[in-house]
Structure 1
Amino acid sequence: MGQTLSEPNTTKETTSVRNDSLVVASSSMQGWRVTMEDAHQHILQLSPEDPNAAYFAVFDGHGGSMVARHASIHLHRHIVNRAEYQEGNIPEAIREGFLECDRAMKGSQELKDEMAGCTAIMVLLKDNKLWCGNAGDSRCIAGVNGDAVALSIDHKPNDPLEMERIVSAGGFVEFNRVNGNLALSRALGDFIFKTDDELPQNKQIVSAEPDVQTRVVAEDLDFVLLACDGIWDVLNNQQVCDFVVDKLAANTQPEDICEQLMDRCLAPDCQVGGLGCDNMTVVLVCFLHGKPWQNLVTRCQQFAKEREERQQLQDDEECEIAAMAVSATATASDGGEDAIMSVAAVVAASSSRTSEDDSNDNKIDAAAEADACSNDENNVIDDNNDNGNSKEGCDVDNKENTQNDK
């Protein structure tokens, strides 16, 4: 897990920016770690290269902060200056921009011998579209009508396709870590894992190649949130989405939401397996769609109310089943075949409702996966090219499992 302080450093570096379309906030906190290795970036106008584009990113450093800091300053320029970007092929510009940034650092006198690395999760907005590029296990979600939609997948060494590349490049996976050391399988930097000059960049033991997803910015998109795994170790996608929705419903400002989310994820001590003890960084992008801020607040109030009503209905059903069980147990104490049948009926009713709930949950999960994979313009479009590193199916888009600390 790395060295920790005796008490967490909860000082936060928080900023916010806005224009007629977006309200954006970011915040970072060192937490229990001895040093702060995260970096981030938010730019409402990518001037002078492309004033019509906006850019947001989080970089979770490990082994030091130099690679994360360099990437936060330079990655977006590598992307927007690519020929692919000028030609309108933004997904390819993002992929090649990541690789170019990594090459530039590897060739830099300052960074070529650097042992550090970093994840990179970024979002670029332009012409009412959103592109999300990711290398590593930081994560991005979209809040759509109160539901979390995954815009990235975590790159972990035990993923079959990731493991195949690692082994083919001469590495191994031990304890779910690359060569028993690194808890993620794609990153900028980490040049010790990128030493085979006969292999292309995307075939090295650790690759800097990102997965890229595209989404149309429709009226149902309320916010996008990018964060390092210090957040996702503690809360899953939907829990983070619910947290943001509830705070927006209370008219909490985005910069306060970022700070409160980190406080929510901070561990009270470091005796719980390291969860909540990492550096934390959050970038929250709220979409106004040309309407007043209050419109977003009202939408989130409705989503929060609907969720509360669903939860109340579920609680009422559970109470009803519990009451039936108590009554049946009391009857059974009097003995007799009728009493036994009464208990059996309660068990059957409970099982039936549980099965129905599970079936509904599965339908919801299937619908969410279909939404994340659909090529319809109103849904996420998978822009990963067929290079052997892309993921098959969409179950990986909604990984909610607790991630290992780097």
Structure 2
Amino acid sequence: MKMAPEINYPPAFPGLQGSFRVQNEAATTEEERECLESCKSIKTGRPPRHLSLRPYSPNSSLLVATTDLESDAEIVRVTSPPDGNPAFLPVYRSGSCSEIGPKPFMEDFHICIDDLSNHLSATAGAFYGVFDGHGGTDAAFFVRDNILRFIVEDSHFPNCVKQATRSAFLKADQAFADDSSLDSTSGTTVLTALIFGRILLIANVGDCRAVLGKQGRAIELSKDHKPNCTSERLRIEALGGAVYDGYLNGQLSVARALGDWHMKCPKGSPCPLSAEPELQEIVLSEEDEFLILGCDGLWDVMSSQCAVTIVRKELMLHNDPERCSRELVREALKRNTCDNLTVVVVCFSPDPPPWIEIPTSKFKRSISAEGLNIIQQALVHAGRGTYLFDDVVSELSSLCIF
């Protein structure tokens, strides 16, 4: 997270039973009716302030070397169809990695719960989240510790998980402001993934990103809430805000966040900096292999398709999501990311992804070295960034004959 110019954490969710791995308002009547029709399935703790800021840092010697990368074939925004094998049920397993990167302080937090039934009676599912803090750690720490509790205690849960999640984000934002022991000027982006059976619900505020790996293709399940995004800019300006050099009111590089109450209007009033999450719900199928949740420190230097390609190749080598998350962090550091790094990889099967058979084309496509040079110059002049150029050239090289 940009603003202008392994820790042993105490147990979270004190009201829930069991333990889990932690590393690092109400709707209108019409909304409720619509939500209930569409749903066919399915005491705030006070964390200590100013924790040690030294993150868990995996030994670089343990990181697997990057294999040759295929990249950016295409990035699509679609939902998985509800057909396929009706008996299919995903098996959740996850791995995560956090690194401080080049920044002086670590402000990222995340959470991985592979089995919610250990914490919520008669509730089978999984929950994951990435929280990219800025202006201090208070907001990210508070939301990490409380967001799931706000979801499950909402009156809409479990009949309408979408509405419960939307309400939980807003309640968490206000509860954080009400806690006088915390610095309400700190802020955080929030990206969560809640899974019940085959239903995957992504909720996002800010510029973390959720990407689904579907038979080697990257499916983006969230939108980066950047102030320069057309829809966000229009919303900001309609509410009296402004965007200067990509920053909301010249201060913040995201258009949505929890916390940052020095930039928000009085409670209950619309304001340019929103805590309202965008939701994406899909039905998982056998083609959906894994999910990547990452902060902007990853996506600043890597495309969604490149990340999916790396994870899929790593899973085929060792089938370990923890090592996959480490490899993404290692690759982002290699590409000189300027931010903290947090990555969570969630697999939906106990088996590694299968090999994909690519049909042989009747015609061979070729391109000369001169042609590649022209493409390079065009991308450079277009300002697409060197990491995207490397991905495109790698992809072209794998498809073309010289």
Determine helix, strand or coil for the equivalent of 1:235. Answer: coil
* Equivalence for 1:186: 256
- Partners of 2:231 and 2:240 in 1: how far apart? 15
2:309 alignment counterpart: 242
- 165, 168, 171: which one aligns with 2:241: 171
Structure 2 CA distance for aligned equivalents of residues 45 and 263 of structure 1? 28
Does residue 254 (structure 1) correspond to residue 321 (structure 2)? The answer is yes
How far apart in 2 are the matches of 1:198 and 1:127?
35
Following the alignment from structure 1 to structure 2, what is the Cα–Cα distance between the partners of residues 49 and 241? 34
- When residues 94 and 10 of structure 1 are mapped into structure 2, their CA distance, relative to the original with a 3 A threshold, is closer
Describe the SS at the equivalent of 1:208.
coil
Q: Report which of the two has the higher share of strand.
A: 1
Whether 1:83 aligns to 2:155 is: yes
1:138 pairs, out of 208, 220, 241, with 208
Q: How many residues align?
A: 296
State the partner residue of 2:124: 52
| Structure 1 length-normalised TM | 0.66
> Which structure's residues are more often helix, by fraction?
1
Displacement of 1:51 after TM fit? Answer: 3.1
Q: Which has the higher contact order (CA 8 A, sep 6+)?
A: 2
Matched, 1:73 2:73: no
The match for 1:106 among 177, 191, 199 is 177
Instruction: Give CA-to-partner distance per residue, 1:188-240, whole Å, 9 cap, x none.
Output: 111112123462xxx21211110000010111110011000011001111111
In structure 1, the residue matched to 2:25 is: none
- 1:310-321 correspondence runs (5 A): 317-319=365-367
State the alpha-carbon separation in 2 of the partners of residues 94 and 20 from structure 1: 22
Structure 1 residues 98 and 49 mapped into 2: Cα distance closer, same or farther (>3 Å)?
farther
Indicate the residue corresponding to 1:11 in structure 2. 57
Q: Identify the residue that residue 63 of structure 1 maps to in structure 2.
A: 135
SS at match of 1:317: coil
- The alignment's C-alpha RMSD in Å is 3.3
Partner of 2:165: 94
Q: Which residue of 2 aligns with 1:276?
A: 337
Alpha carbons of structure 1 residues 169 and 207: separation in structure 2 relative to 1, 3 Å: same
SS at match of 1:276: coil
Q: 1:13–1:28: 8 Å Cα contact kept in structure 2?
A: no
Structure 2 CA distance for aligned equivalents of residues 161 and 49 of structure 1: 40
Q: What is the CA–CA distance in structure 1 between the aligned matches of 2:292 and 2:326, rounded to whole Å?
A: 13
1:11-30: CA deviation from partner (whole Å, max 9, x where unpaired): 2399xxxx992221111011
Write out per-residue CA displacement over residues 152-192 of structure 1, whole angstroms, 9 at most, x where no aligned residue: 00111122332233223332110011011100000111111
Q: CA deviation at 1:247?
A: 0.8
CA separation of 1:183/1:21 partners in 2, compared to 1, >3 Å: closer, same or farther? same
CA distance in structure 2 between the aligned counterparts of 1:35 and 1:246, rounded to whole angstroms: 32
**Counterpart-to-counterpart distance in 1, 2:205 and 2:247:** 16
The letter for the 2-side match of 1:238 is Q
- 1:193–1:50 distance in 2 versus 1, CA, 3 Å: farther
Equivalent position of 1:329 in the other structure: none
| Structure 2 CA distance for aligned equivalents of residues 30 and 3 of structure 1 | 19
Confirm or deny: 8 A CA contact 1:10 1:31 kept in the other structure: no
CA distance in 1, matches of 2:295, 2:136: 15
Q: 1:45 to 1:120 in 2, by over 3 A?
A: same
Matches within 5 A, 1:1-400: 11-12=57-58, 21-46=91-116, 47-48=119-120, 51-86=123-158, 88-111=159-182, 113-197=183-267, 199=269, 203-267=270-334, 276-288=337-349, 292-293=350-351, 296-297=352-353, 299=354, 302-303=355-356, 306=358, 317-319=365-367, 322=368
Distance 1:44 1:26 in 2: 12
Equivalent pair of 1:49/1:80 in contact (CA under 8 Å): no
* TM-score, normalised relative to structure 2: 0.67
Deviation at 1:70, TM superposition (A): 1.0
8 A contact 1:2–1:33 mirrored in 2 = no
Assess, with a 3 A threshold, how the Cα gap between structure 1 residues 196 and 306 changes in structure 2: closer, same or farther: same
Query: Unaligned 5+ residue runs, structure 1?
Result: 269-274, 326-346, 355-399, 402-406
Query: Larger Rg: 1 or 2?
Result: 1
Q: Look up the equivalent residue of 1:166 and give its one-letter code.
A: I
The gaps in structure 2 that reach 5 residues or longer are: 6-53, 61-88, 376-387, 390-402
